[in-house]
Amino acid sequence: MSAGAATSPFAEDQDTFWHTTTHIMAQAVCRLFPNTRYAIGPTIDEGFYYDFDVVRNFLPEDMAKIEEEMKKIVEENHTVEHMSWTKGEALEFFEKHGQAFKAELIRDLPGSEVSIYRQGEFTDLCRGPHLKRTGLVRHFKLLTFAGAYWRANEKGPRLQRIYGISYQDKKNLLEFVRRREEAEKRDHRRLGVELDLFGMDETLGGGLVLYHPKGSAMRMVIEDFLKRAHRKLGYQYIFSPHMANANLWKISGHYENYKENMYFTQIEEQEFGIKPMNCPFHIQVYRSHLRSYRELPIRYFELGTVYRFERSGVLHGLLRVRGFTQDDAHIFCREEQLTGEIEGVLDFVQSVLNLFGFSYTVGVGTRPEKFMGDPELWDRATAALRSALDAKKIQHEIHAGDGAFYGPKIDVALKDALGRSWQGPTIQVDFNLPQRFGLEYVSDDGSRKTPVMIHRAILGSLERFIGCLIEHYAGDFPVWLSPIQVRVIPVSAEAAGAFPAEVMDGLRARDIRADVDEREESLGKRIRAAELEKIPVVAVIGNREAQARSVNVRRRGKKDQEVLSLTDFVEQICREAMVPDGAINP
């Protein structure tokens, strides 16, 4: 129930409220656009939507017209009547009124009866529940128009979708609108263009990212940090190819269980699969030698770029792509080492997320309906995950059936500055792939045993993580993470002479990411440009500063300025630019 529901005069939950509002919206659309065919109108995590087949495309000005008609329906205060019809009665009604989508749904429903709701002249197939009267819905807002396909089939009819939100308390609606406006300001797709971080040109193909120099600079900071942190924690860095013979994917089980998400090609009459995951390659490195129990655990790490098929309709900036890089690692260990290794990964996750300023929640995904291997091994793997979480006193929820096809997993969801959740680190325990690939080690008694494998990613997809970072910080990154850390602005070439070049040399010699703005624009305009580009530090140099070998330092978001000698300025920036990775300890 929403925060506003506690003070509501009726004991209905938010889902019920949204169900009723989406029917009010559909009723309004049908009034304004005769012969509309209405499809489905479910509730979602925040609000609701309804899909329509309308004679023309919705226009921006239609939003206000639909809202006004919804207000009339609320004022008319129709009774919402719930009925149970036979499938025959329902088919006859909806076919008579030209509602082919509803008729198709009814034919596919099990049983002999269906649930129907009616308010005024509007009748709909719906499981409900609903409020008793339309007059109980007072505070609502329509949000966006979007395209959709009937039953998510790209070959099916194309529909128009309207998203909306409603609350029982006006304060909750206003707070939602405020958060939505803030989210739009932080949208990484918009900021990615404005700050010149990355591009996603359809010429490349949907879901493929092209990092521009500024975005690449930020990504390199993250990658360099990850490499240092993994070395400190005993991981060995490896590289693997981008594709492999289909036989590898058949052994791993991906061909059978994951093929619909992969890309395949034919080379010299052999089938090759573009890699969707790195694990089979890391397994091949392990099995290149016979291992001793004394070598375990062995930890391999790779910044591995993978490719997975995603439908075009679900692609979303950096957050949902087809090609992405994982900070992927696989730990091969003895079963008695398993819980301790998981605890070490949990410590790593906690340190990294604290560094980037994220809070988080944790869930455990258990055996799905489609899985490989022995259920008893799954139970042991799940027990190890939960034991490690309990040992670290980390609260977690059980997500039944949400494991990977080869093993259960810990999923960590990041919480950003607006309280939104994003998929983040994962830790998966796998008894199955080591068995399928015949992995062994020589135990202390000389016998051959099979190691356990931990799949883990700390950031997950770098693309998704960078998208989250952009929205979390609204593009206003701390100095150590900022693509450009310092902008040098000479007041004029004549006044500053050669000193700006000397400042730039001093900064770059200490690996500070700096540039210079020498355009023939006013000083104020160039300072304003640096603000808009969210550059954290601006160093202004005029005749006075050049003569004193100093810089006038301005910091983003602060009115105060300070004058520092070149030496002091460079040392100060170096301290601020240092990646704070001291928390990562072996």
Active-site amino acid positions: 279, 308, 326, 328, 330, 409, 455
Task: Identify which of 180, 177, 173 has the alpha carbon closest to the alpha carbon of residue 2.
Answer: 173
- Distance, C-alpha 581 to centroid of its chain: 24
Which DSSP symbol is given to 3?
G
3-state secondary structure of 455: strand
C-alpha torsion 67→72→74→79, nearest 10: -130
Strand order in the sheet with 550-555: 514-516, 486-490, 537-541, 550-555, 561-565
3-state secondary structure of 89: helix
Residue 460, Ramachandran bin (φ over 0: left; ψ between -120 and 50: alpha; else beta):
left
**How many angstroms separate the CA atoms of 453 and 407, rounded?**
10
**Residue pair 25/69 in contact by the 8 Å Cβ criterion:** no
3-state secondary structure of 102: helix
3-state secondary structure of 514: strand
**How many angstroms separate the CA atoms of 377 and 348, rounded?**
26
The pairing of beta strand 122-125 with beta strand 113-119:
antiparallel
Task: Identify which of 556, 417, 535, 557 has the alpha carbon closest to the alpha carbon of residue 474.
Answer: 417
SS (H, E, C) 395-444: CCEEECCCCECCECEEEEEEECCCCCEEEEEEEEEECHHHHHCCCCEECC
The pair of structure tokens assigned to 274 is 């573009």
**How many angstroms separate the CA atoms of 303 and 453, rounded?**
18
Q: Side chain identity at 563, as an amino acid letter?
A: V
Q: CB within 8 A of 404, min separation 6: which ones?
A: 365, 368, 428, 455
C-alpha torsion 467→418→316→222, nearest 10: 10
Rounded to whole angstroms, what are the CA distances from 531 to 184, 267, 497, 555?
Answer: 19, 52, 25, 9
Which DSSP symbol is given to 112?
S
**How many angstroms separate the CA atoms of 21 and 15, rounded?**
10
